[in-house]
Amino acid sequence: MAVHSSVVTGALTSLNPGASSGVAVRAVLIVILLAASSGAWWVASRRAARFRPPKDHLLPGRAPAPVESLSSAELSSDLGARGTFVQFSSATCATCPQVRRVLTELVAAQPGAVHIELQSEDHMDLVRRFSIFRTPTVLLLNPDGAVHSRTTGPLTPTRALAALAQLSPATTRSIDA
């Protein structure tokens, strides 16, 4: 420890005469840096975890996209009668398998709900059209294919189910088949 700190002090005195106070100042700066990153992460993840209306993500002053919808032809898949979760994944996405698992289980238990997963690299046109900056991003489409809401990052089953329920509130009674 003594040897180590003398090396540290030696390295520091070359630049900073108040070496021991320099380490203390740096330690405080490191703590501030880590606290600020934690705070930023907390705010960002809280915001991202919710399903939000599609225009909410656009920067102020930017023109909103005129039509925010996807057709079954573009997705080469049928849309769900209640709703369609379109998940944008990518090769370097650590959270995508978790979201895939949540949505796969959800659509298995919810008739009329469909989950479609797209590789962003293969659909850069859609990535640009829907202003997708992160994977996973999930768009929730209504039965007509219009984007009802979207979310990014980790997804809980509760939130996904709540978003689907918001899309068609009277679900359990209206579906008889």
Partner 1 sequence: MPDSTTTPNANTRSAGATKPGPPGIDPRGPRFGAGVTAVLLVVTLLLGTGTTATALLGVVGLLFLLGVTRGVQGTLQGLAFKAWVRPRLAPPAELEDPRPPRFAQLVGLLVVGVGLLFAALGFPAAVPIAAAVALVAAFLNSVFGLCLGCELYLLGRRLTHQS
**Residue from the set 39, 101, 157, 162 that interacts with partner 1 by CB under 8 A:** 101
What is the CA 2 to chain-centroid distance, rounded?
Answer: 47
User: Does 172 interact with partner 1 (rule: CB under 8 A)?
Assistant: no
Burial class for 8, CB neighbours closer than 10 Å (0-12, 13-18, 19+)? middle
Site string for partner 1, 108-127 (x = CB under 8 A): xx-x-xxxxxxxxxx-x--x
Q: Which two tokens stand for residue 99?
A: 């979201």
Spatial distance between the Cα atoms of 117 and 91, rounded to a whole number of angstroms: 12
User: Are the beta carbons of 68 and 130 closer than 8 angstroms?
Assistant: yes
How far apart are the two ends of the chain, measured CA to CA in Å?
A: 73
- For partner 1, the closer CB: 5 or 166: 5
Q: Which two tokens stand for residue 156?
A: 């809980």
Shortest distance, CB of residue 15 to partner 1, whole angstroms? 5
- For partner 1, the closer CB: 97 or 157: 97
Residues written for the chain: 177
User: Does 177 interact with partner 1 (rule: CB under 8 A)?
Assistant: no
Amino acid at 95: T
Task: Scan residues 7-46 and list those touching partner 1 (CB under 8 A).
Answer: 7-8, 10-12, 14-16, 22-23, 26-27, 29-30, 33-34, 37-38, 41, 45
Give the binding site for partner 1 (CB under 8 A): 7-8, 10-12, 14-16, 22-23, 26-27, 29-30, 33-34, 37-38, 41, 45, 75-77, 80, 89-95, 97-98, 100-101, 103-105, 107-109, 111, 113-122, 124, 127-128, 132-135
